[in-house]
Amino acid sequence: MSYEFAWLDYRNSVAAGAGDYLKKIACTGFEIASEADKNILFSAEQELMRAAKEINGQQSTVLKDEVTSEGISVVLSDAPGLKTGGFKIMITGPKITIEASDASGILYGVFRAITLIRTGKTSDGQIAESPASPIRMLDHWDNPDGSIERGYSGRSFFFKNDHLYVDDRTREYARLVASVGINAVAINNVNVNDIATGLVSGYDRKELTEIAKIFGDYGIKLYISLNFASPMSLGATDTADPLDSKVAQWWKEAADGLYRDIPELGGFLVKADSEGRPGPFSYDRTHADGANMLARALAPHNGLLIWRCFVYNCQQDWRDHTMDRARACYDNFIGLDGQFDDNVILQIKNGPMDFQVREPVSPLFGGLKKTNMMVEFQIAQEYTGQQRDICYLIPMFKQVLDFKTYNGDGEGVLCDIVTGKGSKQTCGMVAVSNTGDDPNWTGHDLAGANLYGFGRLAFNPALTSEEIADEWSRLTFCNDDTVADGVTKMLMMSWPTYEKYTSPLGIGWMISPGHHYGPDIEGYEFSPWGTYHRSDRNGLGVERGKTGTKMIDQYNEPVRSLYESIETCPDELVLFFHRLSYDHVLKSGKTVIEHIYDSHFEGVQDVNEMIGIWRSLADKVDGVRFGRVNDRLDGQLMNAREWRDRINTYYYRHSGVPDKQGRKIY
Ligand code: GCW
């Protein structure tokens, strides 16, 4: 399928005079680089040439080791004070100098400079930036048959017909994500099927090597998701017991073979003992036993083993009120703190449940003290509108990063843990990717802001959500204030709006089983998945405090007390932590039932407001993209109404409380 260039279409959005900078491009110091780095430097040069050609309509040549008084000068040297990937940009009159001490820093500096030029931010001054998270990763849930688990933008561009697939788009993808600083990508689903299991032992090795090479040209390390039981599934052993020497030896040989072909491989990503996947529990071994065995196969090659903490019982009995899925992640891992090898990183979902529109932060971040951690976000909008409804997730991610863990390490916010400011430096941020082979990469055009924003945020968490939205809009649509303001407004209201018309006050779920789009209030209520709201005529919610499942005890003080007391627990999470009656008065002054009605009516109004904003931009956004977004907004309005009417009716029927304002409830 054909593809567009998203925010890298240099023909869009060019500030007046921008092209002048690109008439002269000079690169200095590139010859000292290693072979792998030379490829990254080459990508940087190519990028400048491409910008020059698309913006000026004519080719530029790259001057080597020349000092120029105007244009762009790129200098690879021992610039002090910059971390790997860091860069400095100095602007003086007609000259922009980009300086870095490693090849990826040059590449990121070049992309940044092009953004500044395109958005007209070229007044005299200096910027110095180094990436905050060492690992800035995207996880693709792509399957060999080309389908994508929780994919909402077409089919996979990594796989087709049970094979890896490499074409121009592979490079365009690498370019796109490298432009926002992504440096690690896992290309296959964590639910690894039989075919993908073969990737570790030679299946499609040629294509795998090619992908790794293309990624390498853009400073990206390739990761493979693996099946914990691979040696068994491939018929080499009759067990996958991590303490069995045959199993460990098999993995060692598999890793040696992979690194022989792909010396730059990042490592492995593993989902084990989760939702039916095999894992060490089958052999009475711990997750540390399982992870360390794999990590030791990778260690001689400096590979990393990323181990997911999404481990819970999905065969729960809904009748049993003592079990609580929200406890599972912490309960499964807290006892293993300090037992993981140095090249193991635990990948922890941002919340204790599963990427809901509102969840508290996973207490595991505040619990582990001696373990490498990454936070896992989901920009694939599984539970947040599936790229049919707009939901700009960057404000949510920023709240998570700003959460104070009180774990006694570093300055105390979650961001410190994942950016190496605490005692552990092997860390990072990862997002489940929202891309597919749709021409615009992300299905909904505005979902591109989540892909762009995640990368920018992982690189520089100090950016505001508004800054990211504004910049993305200018690069994607046009460098126009009215468009940027309108798009930023829509994006900024979209997460609160989505929250208003879906499940209330942090309780989550209530989605259609299986595909997870649209409301089905009791869809998971009597299921084994552990996601209950237990609504009845008296109220709703699962009590997770002292009189309930005690999940709140997993937080450090003072967070624990804050959540335990209904008086201090923030309204937006109060039904996550507590069971409340419909007439309970929230901190907002409204009762629970009034909040449910009001927020659902408001949610639909907000969608109408977004539609109004978008339509006001009709003559400023190109017709194709204007129409695509317009159509999706119509669908979003229908979805919002459906949620509003089902939720309001359900709770009116359960509570018997009429709406004070006499609005229509069915
Ligand atoms: O949210 C759930 C999804 C599954 C997914 C799982 C996970 C890849 O519904 O589709 O499986 O999370 O994160 O492993």
Going by alpha carbons, the residue nearest to atom 3 of ligand 1 is: 150
CB-side neighbour CA atoms (13 Å) of 304: 24
Mean pLDDT of 295-301: 98
Query: What average pLDDT does the segment 285-302 reach?
Result: 98
CA distances from 642 to 142, 515, 606, 638 (A): 31, 16, 15, 6
658 pLDDT above the threshold of 80: yes
Distance 268 CA to ligand 1 centre (A): 18
Parse the chain into domains and list their residue ranges.
Answer: 6-129, 135-464, 477-542+579-666, 543-573
> At 305, which helix (H) or strand (E)?
strand 304-308
Q: Is residue 1's pLDDT more than 80?
A: no
117-171 pLDDT tens trace? 999 999 999 999 999 999 999 999 999 999 999 999 999 999 999 999 999 999 9
Question: What is the share, in percent, of the chain residues with pLDDT greater than 90?
Answer: 93
Q: What angle do CA 596, 602, 605 make, to 5 degrees?
A: 150
Which residue out of 275, 342, 522, 634 is catalytically annotated? 275
Which residue has a Cα nearest atom 7 of ligand 1? Answer: 310
pLDDT for res 340: 98
Q: Report the distance separating Cα 424 and Cα 409, nearest Å.
A: 10
CB of 135 closer than 8 Å to CB of 374 = yes
Phi, psi of 306 (to 5 degrees): -100, 120
Q: What single string gives the DSSP state of each residue in 208-262?
A: HHHHHHHHHHTT-EEEEEE-TTHHHHTTS-S---TT-HHHHHHHHHHHHHHHHH-
Going from the Cα of 140 to the center of ligand 1, the distance in angstroms, rounded, reads: 12
Residue 411, pLDDT score: 60
CATH topology of domain 135-464: TIM Barrel (3.20.20)
CA distance linking residue 122 with residue 460, whole number of Å: 20
Q: Identify the three-state secondary structure at position 476.
A: helix
CA gap 427, 572 in Å, rounded:
29
For the record, the structure tokens of 83 come out as 């971390």
267 has which bridge partners? 223, 304
Reading the block at residue 191, the tokens are 């639910």
Least confident of 340-349, 400-409, 594-603: 400-409
Strand partners, 25: 62, 72
Residue 306 has pLDDT above 90, yes or no: yes
Summarised one tens digit per residue, pLDDT across range 76-129 is: 998 788 889 999 999 999 999 999 999 999 999 999 999 999 999 999 999 999
Mean pLDDT of 211-238: 98
DSSP string computed for 83-131: -TT-EEEEEETTEEEEEESSHHHHHHHHHHHHHHHHTT--SSEEEEE--
Instruction: Report pLDDT digits (tens) over 355-391.
Output: 999 999 999 999 999 999 999 999 999 999 999 999 9
Task: State the DSSP string of 368-429.
Answer: -SSS-EEEEEE-S-TTTTTTTS----HHHHHHHHT-B---SSTTSBHHHHHTT-SS--S-EE
Task: State the virtual CA torsion across 469, 470, 473, 474 in degrees, nearest 10.
Answer: -150
Residue 330 has φ and ψ, to the nearest 5°, of -65, -50
Q: Is 275 a catalytic residue?
A: yes
What average pLDDT score do residues 533-537 get? 97
Pick the closest to residue 363 from 335, 323, 321, 403 (CA basis): 403
Q: Which of 229, 338, 350, 235 minimizes the C-alpha distance to 292?
A: 338
Q: Which atom of ligand 1 is nearest to the CA of 271?
A: 14
466's tokens: 């508004």
Distance 432 CA to ligand 1 centre (A): 10
Instruction: Please tell me the pTM assigned to this model.
Output: 0.98
Dump pLDDT digits (tens) for 595-648.
999 999 999 999 999 999 999 999 999 999 999 999 999 999 999 999 999 999
Q: Are 540 and 579 in contact (CB under 8 A)?
A: yes
Cβ count within 10 A of residue 206: 11
Specify the fold of 6-129: Chitobiase; domain 2 (3.30.379)
Would you state the structure tokens that stand for residue 40, as one six-digit string?
């990254």
Q: Could you give the CA distance from residue 187 to residue 225 in angstroms, rounded to a whole number? A: 8
Residue 235: other Cβ atoms inside 10 A: 7
The yes-or-no verdict on residue 13 having pLDDT over 80 is: no
Phi then psi dihedrals of residue 221, to 5 deg: -95, 135
- Average pLDDT score over residue span 579-606: 98
Please check the confidence at residue 67 and state whether its pLDDT lies above 90: no
- What is the residue type of 123? S
Which residue of the set 354, 470, 543, 606 is catalytic?
Answer: 354
- Determine the average pLDDT of the residues in 573-593: 98
Closest residue to atom 12 of ligand 1, CA basis = 354
Model confidence at 36, pLDDT cuts 50, 70, 90, reads confident
Annotated catalytic residue, options 129, 204, 382, 499: 382
pLDDT at 664 > cutoff 80: yes
Burial class for 49, CB neighbours closer than 10 Å (0-12, 13-18, 19+): middle
Question: Which structure tokens are listed for 327?
Answer: 């406890």
Specify whether the backbone of 651 is left (phi greater than 0), alpha (psi in -120 to 50) or beta. Answer: alpha
Strand-pair partners of 163: 160
Q: Which residues contact 319 (CB under 8 A, 6 or more apart)?
A: none
For the chain, the average pLDDT equals 96
For the cut 90, the answer to whether the pLDDT of residue 573 exceeds it is: yes
Q: How confident is the model at residue 591 (pLDDT cuts 50, 70, 90)?
A: very high
**Region 469-481 average pLDDT:** 97
| Number of the ligand 1 atom closest to the C-alpha atom of 383 | 1
Nearest residue (by CA) to ligand 1, atom 11, is 191
Averaged pLDDT, 401-413: 86
**54: CA distance to ligand 1 center in Å?**
40
Which mutation among 307, 325, 354, 524 tests ligand 1's pocket best, with the greatest number of atoms within 8 A of CB?
A: 354
Task: Please give the structure tokens belonging to residue 493.
Answer: 């209201």
Q: Would you say residue 206 has pLDDT above 70?
A: yes
Find out whether 264 and 212 touch, Cβ atoms under 8 Å: yes
| Site residues for ligand 1, CB cut-off 6 Å | 141, 149-150, 190-191, 271, 310, 354-355, 382
For 477-542+579-666, which CATH superfamily applies? Answer: Alpha-glucuronidase, C-terminal domain (3.90.1330.10)
Q: Is 410's pLDDT higher than 80?
A: no
Give the pLDDT band of residue 229 (cuts 50, 70, 90).
Answer: very high
Nearest CA to ligand 1 atom 13: 310
